[in-house]
Amino acid sequence: MTTITAPTFPRLFAGIDVGPSYRAHLNRFGDRPTFNDRKAEGLRTLHQLLDDAPLIGRGGGGIAASLKLAFLSTSTKPVIVVNAMEGEPASSKGVALAMVAPHLVLDGALMLAEALKSSQIIIAIADDDTRTTQGFQRAIGERRESISMEISHPPAHYVTGEESALVHWLDEGSALPTFRPIKPSFVKIGRRAALVHNLETLAHLALLARFGAGWYRSRGTSSSPGTTLITVSGAVQSPSTYEWTFGRTLGELIEQAGGLVEGFGGALIGGYGGTWVGGNALSLPIDHASLRSAGATLGPGIVVVLPKASCPVAEVTRVVEWMANESVGQCGPCVYGLPALAKDLRTLGWSRSTRNQFDRLLHHLTEVDGRGACRHPDGVVRLIRSCLSVFSAHFDEHLRSGPCAAVNAPTVMVLPKNRRR
Ligand code: SF4
């Protein structure tokens, strides 16, 4: 019998040397435990395990996996949805997991399905994401499972990865968000409840179930145990997705990504609805509590590093223009508010503007904040407000002297083409 040792570090990427095949996966991690006994004892054990870790969802909402499970455990045979949508342009963790550890993701989904007596798993991958699709197609094809695993292709838009929009698309073919997710919410596909998890959460679950809560907590901090995937881009030598231990600093993360290309000007943390931190943030620990005290969250695991010589006004303007075009156009804050914010910023960035124009931007931020059906516009407001706060001197310079020398420099932000709806 092969003895399987728990990986120390990395964890999710522990099989990287042996490859992503099912055989290599079994050799590296062993068979998945099952939680499918008749009397729901397995379900209780799984719930306890998630609670003891605790495993916090890696999709950006920061919801504990045990809470989601408790919310659904009385539903009959829910559909398990693996959210691999990767709507954030600066994230590549979906591709990374599909290439390196797709079987951990499938194991996590299968364990949940077995514990909940579910017969269907849907893996949602954006319709333009061929690499993630190929990785999961290959992995599904290697396995013989009694539970159905199918890949679905919602349209590649920023908002489609949001849980209620995704389920709405799977249910009715329309990717409109239907609520503002701040806690577990009841979502349905047809007549059946749906349990949606980010693919990284499921990969962690697959290891947690094998090696236990003590092992899970043996890395990270007491309030942010474990490791997490972070995609680092911008002004670093080796942009990529890294497995990261909670509690180590932003400066160490940049070192891991090969170091700075040029001086550190600040960073965007949490994605395009995230929060900017300034030039003094290199000692900031990357864990939930430390980020919260800096007014930030890790979101789905994204850090974009800004070079010192760049223009933050220009960078944030281009992101807001992109985000304005990603809304689904069903609420006023998105239809009118986001384009107005983008226009205000462009005026501030590219012309000699007045204090009145700056005040108009502040007014529009208040108008938009908290008014959308989903949190898409709130994310844009957070992005702009944190930029105004962290880079206030740069905004002042624009107000005093007009556009800076870097305003037309190539952007460091990843900005794919907006797709027509
Ligand atoms: S707030 Fe924007 S993205 Fe959210 S549902 Fe309304 S229009 Fe759509």
Check whether 127 has a pLDDT greater than 90.
yes
pLDDT on residue 353: 87
Query: Which of 194, 217, 240 is a domain's end point?
Result: 217
Span from the CA of 335 to the centroid of ligand 1 (angstroms): 8
Q: What are phi and psi of 396, to 5 degrees?
A: -60, -40
Query: Does 134 share its domain with 187?
Result: yes
* Rounded distance between C-alpha atoms, residue 324 and residue 418, angstroms: 10
Mean pLDDT of 328-357: 93
Query: Does 191 share its domain with 245?
Result: no
**Is 32 within the bounds of a domain?**
yes
**Is 386 within the bounds of a domain?**
yes
Query: Does 116 share its domain with 158?
Result: yes
Span from the CA of 268 to the centroid of ligand 1 (angstroms): 23
Lowest mean pLDDT segment, chosen from 59-73, 151-165, 387-401: 59-73
Check whether 72 has a pLDDT greater than 80.
no
CB 386 within 8 A of CB 289: no
1: pLDDT confidence band, cut at 50, 70 and 90? low
Closest atom of ligand 1 to CA, residue 327: 3
C-alpha distances out from residue 331 to 180, 184, 318, 377, 415, Å: 13, 23, 22, 10, 24
Query: Does 36 share its domain with 89?
Result: yes
pLDDT on residue 175: 86
Structural domain count of the chain: 3
Helices (H), 325-410: 332, 338-350, 355-368, 376-390, 392-401
Query: Does 28 share its domain with 89?
Result: yes
183: pLDDT confidence band, cut at 50, 70 and 90? low
**CATH number where 284 lies:** 3.10.20.600
Q: What is the mean pLDDT of the chain?
A: 93
**Is 415 within the bounds of a domain?**
no
Query: Does 158 share its domain with 297?
Result: no
Mean pLDDT of 233-257: 98
Query: Does 243 share its domain with 301?
Result: yes
**How confident is the model over 21-54, as pLDDT tens digits?**
999 999 999 999 999 887 778 999 999 999 999 9
pLDDT on residue 179: 59
pLDDT on residue 278: 93
Span from the CA of 232 to the centroid of ligand 1 (angstroms): 27
Query: Does 43 share its domain with 185?
Result: yes
Pocket test for ligand 1, best of 179, 327, 371 (most atoms within 8 A of CB): 327
**Is 184 within the bounds of a domain?**
yes
Could you list the residue range(s) of the whole structural domain that residue 321 is in?
A: 312-401
Query: Does 187 share its domain with 238?
Result: no
| Residue type, position 156, single letter | A
Query: Which of 217, 238, 254 is a domain's end point?
Result: 217
**Is 352 within the bounds of a domain?**
yes
Mean pLDDT of 196-221: 98
Query: Which of 307, 341, 373 is a domain's end point?
Result: 307
pLDDT on residue 380: 97
pLDDT on residue 381: 98
**Is 285 within the bounds of a domain?**
yes
Query: Does 180 share its domain with 293?
Result: no
Verify whether ligand 1 is closer than 6 Å to residue 328 (CB atom): yes
**Is 7 within the bounds of a domain?**
no
306: pLDDT confidence band, cut at 50, 70 and 90? very high
Q: What are phi and psi of 351, to 5 degrees?
A: -140, 170
* Rounded distance between C-alpha atoms, residue 145 and residue 235, angstroms: 44
pLDDT on residue 375: 86
Query: Does 82 share its domain with 27?
Result: yes
Query: Does 287 share its domain with 209?
Result: no
**CATH number where 321 lies:** 1.20.1440.230
Span from the CA of 165 to the centroid of ligand 1 (angstroms): 10
